[in-house]
């Protein structure tokens, strides 16, 4: 019980940077409460990820630290082939180093990798690195700009899974 209380206190003090803020460095201001905790998983996420995982390598790439990711994924019962945190490169998305780290760590080619996100800024940065992109609409999250051009647009992860099953881009999902 004491271990659980100590872990809960440690996790409560962890924060992530604001959306798109690559200037805050972990170990410095990154844990000072500047950001917000990672979002809760959406209701359709677990089933859609299970379905996608049958055909694709599905990896999470997040600005959250690993402890936050473990909590979020456990609560949402989310299954991934792998989980990568921006804390590994001591910067945050949309810094190009985060996307390069993901590709290098997984040994993947950018052109065969589909970045899936609800934040247009995240997809824009992934696209610059050569990744293909899929925007998934999520209530209260990113708003598309008139100039945004992504490879796929989906109303939910379930919708994305259906599009990919119908012959969308093949490769890895991050």
pLDDT in tens, 150-168: 999 999 999 999 999 888 6
Long-range contacts of 20-28 (CB under 8 A, 24+ apart): 20/93, 20/94, 20/119, 20/121, 20/122, 21/92, 22/91, 22/92, 22/93, 22/94, 22/95, 22/98, 24/92, 25/90, 25/91, 26/65, 26/86, 26/87, 26/90, 26/91, 26/92, 27/90
CA contacts within 13 A on the Cβ side of 30: 20
Q: Taking the model in full, what pTM does it have?
A: 0.74
User: What structural domains and CATH numbers belong to the chain?
Assistant: 39-173 (3.40.50.1000)
pLDDT in tens, 73-101: 888 788 899 999 999 999 999 999 999 99
127 pLDDT exceeds 70?
Answer: yes
């Amino acid at each position: 019980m004491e271990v659980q209380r100590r872990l809960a206190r440690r996790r409560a003090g962890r924060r992530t940077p604001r959306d798109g803020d690559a200037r805050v460095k972990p170990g410095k201001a990154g844990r000072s409460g500047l950001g917000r905790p990672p979002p809760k998983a959406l209701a359709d996420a677990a089933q859609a990820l299970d379905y996608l995982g049958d055909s694709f390598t599905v990896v999470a790439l997040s600005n959250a630290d690993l402890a936050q990711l473990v909590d979020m994924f456990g609560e949402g019962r989310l299954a991934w082939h792998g989980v990568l945190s921006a804390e590994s490169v001591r910067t945050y998305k949309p810094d190009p180093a985060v996307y390069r780290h993901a590709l290098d760590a997984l040994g993947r080619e950018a052109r065969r990798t589909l970045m899936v996100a609800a934040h247009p800024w995240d997809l824009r940065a992934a696209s610059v690195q050569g990744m293909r992109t899929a925007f998934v609409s999520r209530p209260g999250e990113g708003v598309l700009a008139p100039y945004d051009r992504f490879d796929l647009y989906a109303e939910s992860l379930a919708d994305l899974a259906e599009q990919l099953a119908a012959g969308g881009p093949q490769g890895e999902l991050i």
